[in-house]
Structure 1
Amino acid sequence: MKVNPFKKNIRKIRYFTSYVSLFLMVISVAALGMKGLNMGLDFTGGMVTEVRVDLGLTNGELVDTLAPELGELTTVTHSGEEGRWVIRYPIPDSSIEQSGVELPNIEQLLSGVSNNVEVMSNSMVGSQVGDDLVNQGGLALMISMLTILAYLCFRFEWRLASGSLLALLHDVVLVLGFFAATQMEFNLTVFAAVLAILGYSLNDSIIIADRIRELLVAKQDKPTAEVTDSAVIATFSRTMVTSGTTLITVSALWFMGGNALEGFATAMFIGILSGTWSSISIGTVLPEWLKLQPIHYLPVEIDTAP
């Protein structure tokens, strides 16, 4: 009988990917510490201008025209109606009026590529609003993590729960580290992707952890490492199908969503990949290191003797 190489080497794969994950976490933390995140206008403040231009203009043409004058952080998104666009760009200083610096003339900048340019609205996002968004975003992330921690502690024994929790931290740190290393813009859509990754990774980890718990009780004479191997193999096809179909959707957003969804799709793509392997590697190896045993899930015998 021919043995499946994957089944034969699953333990080596789990341990190897765990060390790779820890190494990537160290690199990500170092990137965050040295470079930090390149916060977008949602967090730092800036100008938001809605314009109406010729119908034939594309997002790329508008960005190529505006970016040299307004800065590399300039973004252009469709406003919902044909020919209407929302332009976001940084401002030199929050005290523009006091310093005497005039805001760029959007109509004049776009006159070279559009015959008709009409500014529909023009507003400023102050730094105070950005600070509030940072605080609220951090609070949302902390509440999400605490809620997940409470659920894991209720659902699983702490050794098994710790693996799922570390896998969650791994996925978030890798996404943040990638954006810090590449200095891609970190805005509200990327932050929304980070929160979505938490739920996605948690789902994978719970499926595997639940299977480990069942097999620990059913196969009490087997070593924990062997039980874990069986649990990973039993859930592997389901994990690959779920991850594969989700990656197809995210890839469509990546290639067809344009500049507005580039950061979101990038974060989701990295999060799904890291969430898939972290639930198999860190999520299963850490409980073994913490000496998880079948006895931890067996009913406690109560002495009824008088």
Structure 2
Amino acid sequence: MVEFFKQRIRRIRYLTSFVSVALMVISLIALGVNGLNMGLDFTGGMVTEVSVDANVTHDQLVDTLEPALGEFTNVTHSDQEGRWLIRYPIPAEGQQIVDLTKVLSPISHHIEVVSNSMVGSQVGQDLVDQGGLALLISMLSILGYLCFRFEWRLASGSLVALLHDVVLVLGFFAATQMEFNLTVFAAVLAILGYSLNDSIIIADRIRELLLAKQSTPIEEINDQSVIATFSRTMVTSGTTLMTVSALWIMGGSALQGFAIAMFIGILSGTWSSISIGTVLPEWFKLEPKHYLPVEVDDAP
């Protein structure tokens, strides 16, 4: 496997870069056509905590509540046995408010509405604004860090790789119309940090080899850098994917969106740091002279 990778590394880098561009275009089209299916955290909705019989399962609640409350109903277990949090859209004007006691009566003998609250649309809009601001500040901070640490030709690869990973995750949620809520947004911010770490490892190696092998073409420098960091990348990504997979399988519906976003982000972050992170500096003609000290003329 390793020998196969070494022999075809340049072809793999170029091929994955074209795949990345194609996926970005598809994701942007999906975002433009479908948009994101914003969850109740952003659009507003009702949050009701109910107490039912201890033997009532999550699937029973979902199957019973969705026909009455709509497909965007979300059910999560509370901190006590038999207590559940139900999130569902605010009834439209003129629609009758659903009586949860009647809806749940076929599957439970004991039903008690513990609390009932409403998240208004204004609060949801504030969350959208704050989330967008958080994402913008994160990207600007990363941009500043990359400009400080690397020459712009090398930094551009890491920055575009970050944008690629975020666009792919957003495009997936737009294409599938899965609910985009606060937990998914938290995953997007986590992906930024994870992808940046991968890109910096490879970029550091490229910079070292540029100075150590100044007569070597940049294409070969990039090949050697990817090969040198390949085992570290596979171990890191593999163990993280195992953890996220366990979270996906065992975390239930409440963490499903978070786990899926992280899974996609880790995969795309791994290949984008190899493809985009190395191919873009080649297109911008990165050379060893860009990292050599500037000679100062001592002549009077």
Shift in Å, 1:6: 1.1
2:160 and 2:65 map into 1 onto residues whose CA distance is 43
Quote the Cα distance in structure 2 between the aligned partners of 1:61 and 1:242: 39
Q: Distance in 2 between matches of 1:198 and 1:114?
A: 44
Equivalent residue for 1:265? 259
Name whichever of 157-166 and 104-113 sits farther off. Answer: 104-113
Alignment of 1:191-206 (within 5 A): 191-206=185-200
Q: Which moved more, 1:190-199 or 1:106-115?
A: 106-115
Distance in 2 (CA, whole Å) between partners of 1:261 and 1:120 is 24
Q: Deviations over 1:4-43 (max 9, x none)?
A: 2211110000000000000000000000000000111111
| One-letter amino acid of the structure 2 residue matched with residue 46 of structure 1 | G
User: Does residue 57 of structure 2 align to residue 63 of structure 1?
Assistant: no
Indicate the SS of the match to 2:8: helix
Q: Give % identity.
A: 77
Q: CA deviation at 1:102?
A: 2.9
Residue aligning to 2:298: 304
Q: TM-score, normalised by structure 1?
A: 0.96
How much has 1:289 moved relative to structure 2?
A: 0.3
Q: Where do residues 124-203 of structure 1 align in structure 2 (5 Å cutoff)?
A: 124-203=118-197
Q: Gapped runs of 5+ residues in structure 1?
A: none
User: Is the partner of 2:35 in helix, strand or coil?
Assistant: coil
**Cα deviation, residue 79, structure 1:** 1.2
Give distance in 1, aligned partners of 2:57 and 2:194: 34
CA distance in 2, matches of 1:108, 1:239: 54
Tell me the amino acid that sits aligned with residue 64 of structure 1. D
Supply the distance in 1 between the matched residues of 2:187 and 2:12 (Cα, whole angstroms).
28
| Partner of residue 228, structure 2 | 234
For 2:54 and 2:293, how far apart are their aligned partners in 1? 70
SS of the equivalent of 1:303 reads: coil
- Residue 45 of structure 1: aligned partner: 44
Partner of 1:283: 277
- Give the structure 2 partner of residue 220 of structure 1: 214
Q: Which runs of 4+ in 1 moved over 2 A?
A: none
> How much does 1:298 deviate?
0.7
CA RMSD of aligned residues (A): 1.0
Q: Which amino acid aligns with 2:287?
A: Q
Q: Deviations over 1:232-251 (max 9, x none)?
A: 00000000000000000110
SS for the counterpart of 1:301 is coil
How far off is 1:46 after superposition? 0.8
Q: What residue is the counterpart of 2:115 in the other structure?
A: 121
Q: Distance in 1 between matches of 2:111 and 2:250?
A: 26
TM-score normalised according to structure 2 size: 0.98
Q: Which residue type is aligned with residue 110 of structure 2?
A: N
Write the distance in 2 (CA, Å) between the matches of 1:241 and 1:303: 48
Displacement after TM superposition at 1:92 (Å): 2.8
* Cα deviation digits, residues 114-148 of structure 1 (max 9, x gap): 11111110011111111111111100000000000
